[in-house]
Structure 1
Amino acid sequence: MRIIGLTGSIGMGKSTTAAMFREAGIPVYDADAAVHDLYDQGGAAVGPVGDAFPGVVKDGRVDREALRQRVLGQPDELKRLNAIVHPLVGLDRVGFLKQAEADGADWVVFDVPLLFETGGHANVDAVVVVSAPPEMQRERVLARPGMTPERLDAILAQQMADAEKRARAHYVVDTGKGLEPARAQVKAIIANLRASAG
């Protein structure tokens, strides 16, 4: 079984592109969704995150906004958080891989926002970067509830530049031209990967 790493900066259309891989029959592991579950009531991260960052656990779950305020622009705090969460996500991902293997999947997708930033690209067979023109990216993100230009800039400061991601990718999906062209690009990538894998 081979692994596709799917990544892209905020607002590039990565979640939509991940859904296209899923529609094509390739299992997708969503790292963000896994973290969401870990932070929810009964999640394995609630206790250790609450101990490390007092006050961020409310009603038995991690308050993501309160946690974000604690770590945004604080590299050491972010490192401390990642040291708690990344191993838990890793365990969850092992379970996903076992299930995909049992189901007979030949390829799987790891949907990881910070794939390059965390060094995860070294553990996949191919990297697909989702991209769009910067003005479209800003327009999409600023349309989200509660988003501000300052918050967007702070998020982008933690992410590798889109141009560098594209330069390091095996494949790029351009979502700036609409859904159907993006879907066609995904199908072409899958066909190419399967052909090159023999």
Structure 2
Amino acid sequence: MIVLGLTGSIGMGKSTTARMFAEEGVPVHDSDAAVHRLYAGEAAPVVEKLFPGTVVDGAVDRTRLTRAVVGKPDALKALEDLIHPMVRRDADRFVADHRRKGTPLVLLDIPLLFETGGENRVDKIVVVTAPHEVQRERVLSRPGMTEEKFAAILKRQVPDEEKRRRADFIIDTSLGMYAARLAVRDIVGQLTAR
């Protein structure tokens, strides 16, 4: 079985590309979705203990949690130190399950793949990219996003150029959905050809 890692900086089209892999029949583990599940389940009591007042009706309230960690590097690091291992265990269970089933290819959608050492957990890496102007336009169109928030997020991420250098496959999402879908099909074909 091949474990393919998908990553890309904010606003590069990673989630849309992950859906394209799923539409091609590739099982996808979505790290963001795993965080949502964990926040509504096993992580909630631990997050509440670490950041009192952030859990409402048994689930982490993301708005309250953001207020508790924004601008506080130590608090953010404590949260990441708690959540990242939980997400990793969730992904490991997903991979083990598909390995048992004999699935030929799975995709781990990991936003911070390089930043968290995730490249050691995958066999190949796909990086989604787009020119900076396109990325900026996409990100700043999101509700509540500001230039300052965007700059802060980019500062914490491995630069796009470095990600592309370390990739096995690159998908430029600025070329449109059709081109991205063709690139996804090509990658799936290359990795599943026997």
TM range (shorter): over 0.9
What is the correspondence of 1:19-38 to structure 2 with a 5 Å cutoff? 19-38=19-38
Structure 2: gaps (5+ residues):
none
The root-mean-square deviation of aligned C-alpha atoms, in Å, is 1.5
Question: 2:168: which partner in 1?
Answer: 170
Q: Contact between 1:44 and 1:88, CA under 8 Å: does it hold in 2?
A: no
Distance 1:74 1:162 in 2: 25
Shift of 1:134: 0.8
User: Given that residues 72 and 154 in structure 1 are in contact (C-alpha distance below 8 angstroms), is that contact kept between their aligned partners in structure 2?
Assistant: no
Letter aligned with residue 37 of structure 2: D
Amino-acid identity (%):
54
Partner-residue secondary structure (3-state), 2:21: helix
| Deviation for aligned residue 1:161 | 0.8
* Alignment of structure 1 residues 90-109 onto 2, 5 Å: 90-109=88-107
Q: Which moved more, 1:89-98 or 1:103-112?
A: 89-98
* Amino acid paired to 1:92: D
Q: CA shift at 1:90, angstroms?
A: 2.5
Give the equivalent residue in structure 2 for 1:133.
131
CA distance in 2, matches of 1:150, 1:163: 21
TM-score, normalised with respect to structure 2 = 0.93
5+ long unaligned stretches in structure 1:
none
What's the TM-score, normalizing by structure 1?
A: 0.91
For residue 122 of structure 1, report the CA deviation from its aligned partner: 1.3
Partner of 1:5: 5
Residues 100-109 or 134-143, more deviating: 100-109
> Residue 146 of structure 2 corresponds to which residue in structure 1?
148
Q: 1:73–1:127: structure 2 CA closer, same or farther, 3 Å change rule?
A: farther
Aligned position for 1:114? 112
1:15-62 deviations in whole A, cap 9, x for unaligned?
01001111111100000000011112xx10001111111222223221
Equivalent pairs counted in the alignment come to 194
Matched to 1:138, the amino acid is: R
User: Aligned partners of 1:47, 1:166: CA distance in 2, in Å?
Assistant: 38
**Structure 1 counterpart of 2:158, which letter?**
M
Give how far 1:3 is off.
0.4
